[in-house]
A and B are shown apart, each in its own frame.
Chain A
Amino acid sequence: GENVEQHPSTLSVQEGDSAVIKCTYSDSASNYFPWYKQELGKGPQLIIDIRSNVGEKKDQRIAVTLNKTAKHFSLHITETQPEDSAVYFCAASKRNTGNQFYFGTGTSLTVIP
């Protein structure tokens, strides 16, 4: 089955700095990679996703890059703000095959004002 690893587990940055979270996956058949933000006591919220036919995707301060050959993908948050503080999860799945998600272990991001 799929195995998704995520690093770092905790990350603290100064407000305005960038944050980078990295994930690796094991199943080369995975072709959909979403990123979720989870605030305390709430369900995960999709913030950005990328499909395997694309190498990079950007949405304002958030970007995701994918290296299919190396089987890793990364989340980049620029100009961080205190409200970006949350736990971030990456996931991998094979679309059109049940869409079962395999989640990374999560990164607790703290943005220091």
Chain B
Amino acid sequence: GAVVSQHPSRVICKSGTSVKIECRSLDFQATTMFWYRQFPKQSLMLMATSNEGSKATYEQGVEKDKFLINHASLTLSTLTVTSAHPEDSSFYICSAQGPGLQYFGPGTRLTVT
């Protein structure tokens, strides 16, 4: 089946720094990728929809200047959390629109100290 990878799986960063998370579709091309955020014991909340070659569409309440999304190729989308704060600590999950289905990555645990 289609595979989506995320890197890194875990990252710890200091408050005020920026961190980049990569999402790759390994065996298919994805014109659309999605970024979700999940707090402990809560559901997945869509942050933004990333389309290859165009600007991402952000959900209401998500700061686009804080969560920078780049979808530079059909197999790679990146999420950069800028000037991270402890409240940005969360589990970030991407998904990629593949052949007929949406495939999820394994997630990235971000901890901001």
Binds A, one of B11-19, B39-47, B82-90: B39-47
Give the CA-CA distance A42 to B105 in the complex, in Å. 8
Give the CA-CA distance A43 to B2 in the complex, in Å. 14
B: which residues have CB within 8 A of A? 4, 6, 32, 34, 41-46, 49, 91, 93, 95, 97, 101-107, 109
A: which residues have CB within 8 A of B? 34, 36, 41-46, 49, 89, 98-106, 108
Name the prevailing secondary structure of the B interface residues.
strand
Give the CA-CA distance A41 to B106 in the complex, in Å. 8
Q: CB distance B42 to A106 under 8 Å?
A: yes
Give the CA-CA distance A27 to B46 in the complex, in Å. 17
Besides A99-B32, A99-B97, A105-B42, 14 other CB < 8 A contacts? A41-B91, A41-B109, A42-B107, A43-B6, A43-B93, A43-B105, A45-B104, A89-B44, A99-B102, A100-B34, A101-B44, A101-B46, A101-B95, A103-B43
